């Protein structure tokens, strides 16, 4: 069964304290890994797509990396406005459509 | 360019009542999706539509029906609402043969 597991479930950081979020997956034949940010009361907002091991993508204080079995979202010197829930998702092993399987997310809180 | 819009934003139903959640996108996307998001469960796919005139079941389709009215609009109907359908519902869309999904702001539904 395809699974996407995110850890930790919740993370509290002080402003400026760098850390990483983890997303591990069990799908076969990865066809991309997707990171989203979700603010309270809003829909998920697309951040990054990674397609192959070793690939990296950056946006402001966020950098996403990909290995064969997991992805990391590194947050460098975070600010309070980075507080959100971060979701990762992958297409399921059974292809034929543009569906995604989502992890349960990591809720990040950055204190000033 | 509004992206993905959903109506209503909030709704309270009594057990057994019916209602339709509306979704529209103005990005000319082929594929559209309905998810529900519950605490501790993450995003779960209810139904999706790969193109106008086609719909398929997702992970949790029981108790729901959908209609792909045209390329822009995808509606979700609850025929006889149950308390277990209390959730936040998100609509999303994506271009043909891509996995990057764009989400609407959500509908918060409470069934009493």
Cα A80 from Cα A91, distance rounded (Å) = 31
Residue B103 above 70 pLDDT?
yes
Q: Which of B108, B111, B91 is nearest to B23 (CA)?
A: B91
Query: What tens digit of pLDDT does each residue of B64-79 get?
Result: 999 998 999 999 999 9
Residue with tokens 């999303």: B92
Tokens at residue B19, please? Answer: 């209602």
Residue B57 above 80 pLDDT?
yes
Chain A residues inside the 8 Å CB shell of B90: 43-44
- CB-based contact A104 B42, cutoff 8 Å: yes
Cα–Cα distances (Å) from B83 to A31, B14, B49, in that order, read 37, 8, 26
Residue B80 above 70 pLDDT?
yes
pLDDT of residue B98: 81
- CB-based contact A43 B90, cutoff 8 Å: yes
pLDDT of residue B43: 94
Chain A residues inside the 8 Å CB shell of B40: 104
Distance from CA of A98 to the nearest CA of B (A): 5
Residue A95 above 70 pLDDT?
no
- CB-based contact A100 B99, cutoff 8 Å: yes
DSSP label of B85: G
pLDDT of residue A35: 97
The C-alpha angle with vertex B25 and arms to A49 and A73, in degrees rounded to 5, equals: 20
Distance from CA of A19 to the nearest CA of B (A): 23
Q: Which residues pair with A38 in a beta bridge?
A: A85
Chain B residues inside the 8 Å CB shell of A41: 106
Quick one: closest CA in A to B50, which residue? A97
Query: What tens digit of pLDDT does each residue of A33-71 get?
Result: 999 999 999 999 999 999 999 999 999 999 999 998 999
Mean residue pLDDT of chain B comes to: 94
Contact present, A70 and A62 (Cβ < 8 Å)? no
Residue A28 above 90 pLDDT?
no
Cis peptide before A78 (omega within 30 of 0): no
């Amino acid at each position: 069964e395809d699974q996407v597991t995110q850890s930790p479930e919740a993370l509290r950081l002080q402003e400026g304290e760098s850390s990483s979020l983890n997303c591990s997956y069990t799908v076969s034949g990865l066809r991309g890994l997707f990171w989203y940010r979700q603010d309270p009361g809003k829909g998920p907002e697309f951040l990054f797509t990674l397609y192959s091991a070793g690939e990296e993508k950056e946006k402001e204080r966020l950098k996403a990396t990909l290995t064969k079995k997991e992805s990391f979202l590194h947050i460098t010197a975070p600010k309070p406005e980075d507080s959100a829930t971060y979701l990762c998702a992958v297409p399921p092993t059974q292809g034929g459509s543009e569906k995604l399987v989502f992890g349960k997310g990591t809720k990040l809180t950055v204190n000033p | 360019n509004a992206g993905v819009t959903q109506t209503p934003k909030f709704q309270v139903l009594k057990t057994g009542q019916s209602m339709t959640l509306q979704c529209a996108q103005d990005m000319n996307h082929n594929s559209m999706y309905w998810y529900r998001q519950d605490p501790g469960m993450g995003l779960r796919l209810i139904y999706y539509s790969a193109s106008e005139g086609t719909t398929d079941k997702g992970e949790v389709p029981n108790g729901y029906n959908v209609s792909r009215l045209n390329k822009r609009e995808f509606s979700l109907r609850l025929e006889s609402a149950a308390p277990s359908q209390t959730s936040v519902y998100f609509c999303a869309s994506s271009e043909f043969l891509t996995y990057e999904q764009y989400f609407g702001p959500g509908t918060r539904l409470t069934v009493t």
